[in-house]
Amino acid sequence: TQLLEQSPQFLSIQEGENLTVYCNSSSVFSSLQWYRQEPGEGPVLLVTVVTGGEVKKLKRLTFQFGDARKDSSLHITAAQPGDTGLYLCAGGDFNKFYFGSGTKLNVKP
């Protein structure tokens, strides 16, 4: 079984604060993705990382992929209420995607 663990499970912060969420895997995947999901909707892809040590930035979001390609982090700078949602990491391997348990983020105005 390929397992991805995310932490923290829940995070409630004030607007303007910074935060980091983590994703750790028991396996090496060919790629790792981060998705954001709003209630009642399907997840939407934020970024895909492939190379160990890779860093990608998407506006206020910074994604890092560990050198061993088994861990990843998502850092949000100056969080906004619009960032509220469920953040999911997923490992891609042989045309399958395995998801972590998610981090539920609430950004209070």
Partner 1 sequence: SQTIHQWPATLVQPVGSPLSLECTVEGTSNPNLYWYRQAAGRGLQLLFYSVGIGQISSEVPQNLSASRPQDRQFILSSKKLLLSDSGFYLCAWSASDREAFFGQGTRLTVV
Site string for partner 1, 36-55 (x = CB under 8 A): ----xxxxxx--x-x-----
Beta 61-65 vs 10-14: how paired, if at all?
unpaired
**HSE of 61 in the Cβ direction (CA atoms, 13 Å)?**
17
* Contact pick of 14, 82, 95, 109 for partner 1 (by CB under 8 A): 95
3-state SS, residue 82: helix
* Residue 22 interacts with partner 1 (CB under 8 A): yes or no: no
- Residue 61's DSSP bridge partners are 58, 76
Which chain residues interact with partner 1 by CB under 8 A? Answer: 4, 6, 30-31, 33, 40-45, 48, 50, 86, 88, 90, 92-102, 104
